[in-house]
A = this chain, B = another copy of it.
Amino acid sequence: MPSPQRKTPSVHDLPVDPRVEALVNEVIGRVADKWTMILIEVLIEHGELRFTRLGELAGGISQKMLTQTLRQMERDGLVIRTIHPVIPPRVEYRLTDLGLSLGEAFCGVWLWAEKNLQAIEDARVAFDIRAKA
């Protein structure tokens, strides 16, 4: 359906197989996730990291959520988990090329957030005033 509001490029501009669209939505659901994005950002910044250090740098993530997110990222091919054969074994995580490319694709959203912080804060203040009225 053509829409007068359509101003931006969209994946829907492409002819899309509904099966492909459902898969894309599922993948977006997986990767449009706060912790996935923050872990990718930390790994881009710091390279290979141990579990504990990764958790510290991500800030505020629970151990359970860190385990879960890293496992899903490993399954999706975004990170590689390496067990270094030392005693005690040292387990480290780093991004794959696929993970790096997701970080690049998401970079626009970080920049958007940085640019529009004030607009978002202003909107929140205005909303909260209206909600109280």
Copies of this chain, complex-wide, total: 2
Measured between beta carbons, the chain B residues less than 8 angstroms from A31 are 109, 113
Query: Contacting A106 at CB < 8 Å: which of B45, B75, B102, B109?
Result: B109
Query: Contacting A24 at CB < 8 Å: which of B12, B113, B128?
Result: B113
Please tell me if A83 contacts chain B, counting CB pairs below 8 Å.
no
Q: A27-B117, A33-B33 are in contact. List 8 more A-B contacts (CB 8 A).
A: A5-B48, A9-B107, A11-B110, A12-B45, A28-B109, A77-B127, A102-B109, A106-B108
Do A34 and B24 form a contact, CB below 8 Å, given A47-B5, A76-B120, A103-B8?
no
Chain A contact residues: helix, strand, loop or mixed = helix
Give the docked Cα–Cα distance between A1 and B116 (Å): 27
Interface centre among A5, A95, A113, A119 (most CB of B within 10 A): A113
Q: In the bound complex, do residue B120 and residue A111 qualify as a contact, i.e. CB atoms below 8 Å apart?
A: no
A residues 1-17 in Cβ contact with B at 8 Å:
1, 3-12, 14
Q: In the bound complex, do residue A95 and residue B47 qualify as a contact, i.e. CB atoms below 8 Å apart?
A: no
A83 to chain B, nearest CB (A): 13
Tell me the A residues contacting B by CB distance below 8 Å. 1, 3-12, 14, 20, 23-25, 27-29, 31-34, 36-38, 41, 43-48, 59, 74-77, 94-95, 98, 100-114, 116-117, 119-124, 126-128
